Chain A
């Protein structure tokens, strides 16, 4: 009798494991393919564009100095008045602007991208989904 009960418990545990594993697999897939918010772009897509991207690093100077995407222009929205003219000097009409910050709940890249789009009406401006950590991860 005990063996039968143990077998039934084992069977129940096994049955419970299946939906758990399916759920985990779905969630893992969902994490990898997080939907893009409006105006966002994935690192893989930006990499495919190669040198047609003007990278803009919206992080604080010390974070930029510690490491950044090659060729990135350091530009925080707090420095809009001071750095806009320099940015426009390096900006290329034919390149797509991709702004990044530290990912997660960082808002600096979105804030800068919004001003570039709305005030200057530069059309090809994106925010890098996941920011600098996402770029480094691949």
Chain B
């Protein structure tokens, strides 16, 4: 008797699971690592209709105008596979970025599927912070800026120079090719000043980049 109840319960669970199943997504979260030279990524979200009935994709909403999502067709028969192709454009952006595409279907009671695109745009050489500020009339003290090679390539600093002699910049090597620091020091803070501090590197070899630190006495 107990076994028969157990069997019925399992059958009921299986039938519920079967009727609920619809589109199954193989990788709804996708992560990308890029450099600022790359201004877009294409994420391909594959799915399969694992249910017993056809599923129609009713809408795909992107979280900003910078992302587009396309689909070959709208209706997918049981067992059929498909793919949402999302293109996320992020020109001139850096750091950790994230956009989502929300896919709604005609499956009864099914919550919309969130497709998640995560991008890390990493400069080969990170400067933190890229701005140092003093208040006019405030204490005269040096402020440090950290320079770190990222992305597995050694980046060497060839020179550091300031456009304003009232805001001097001194380079210190913590670990050649990996980590440096720049100490920016004002001669005084009596008046408002501005400086552009240029950090010349040797990377990439064919077109070495120069980075900028901004300094202000406000």
Contacts and interface: CB of A to CB of B under 8 A. Distances in A.
Interface of A: 77-78, 80-81, 84-85, 88-89, 91-93, 104-107, 110-111, 114-115, 118-122
B65 A107 contact: yes
B17 interface: no
B194 A119 contact: no
A8 B169 CA distance: 85
A115 B90 CA distance: 12
B214 A105 contact: no
B208 interface: no
Contacts of B95: 114-115, 118-119
Interface of B: 62-66, 90-95, 127-131, 133, 135, 194, 196, 212, 214, 216, 218
Q: Is the interface of B mostly helix, strand, loop or mixed?
A: loop
A119 B129 contact: yes
Contacts, number: 57
A101 B214 CA distance: 25
Contacts of B90: 111
A85 B130 contact: no
A88 B129 contact: no
Contact of A106 (B64, B93, B128, B218): B64
Contacts of B94: 115, 118-119
Given A78-B91, A107-B66, A120 B130 contact: yes
Contact of B63 (A105, A120, A122): A105
Nearest to B218: A93
Contacts of A121: 128-129, 131
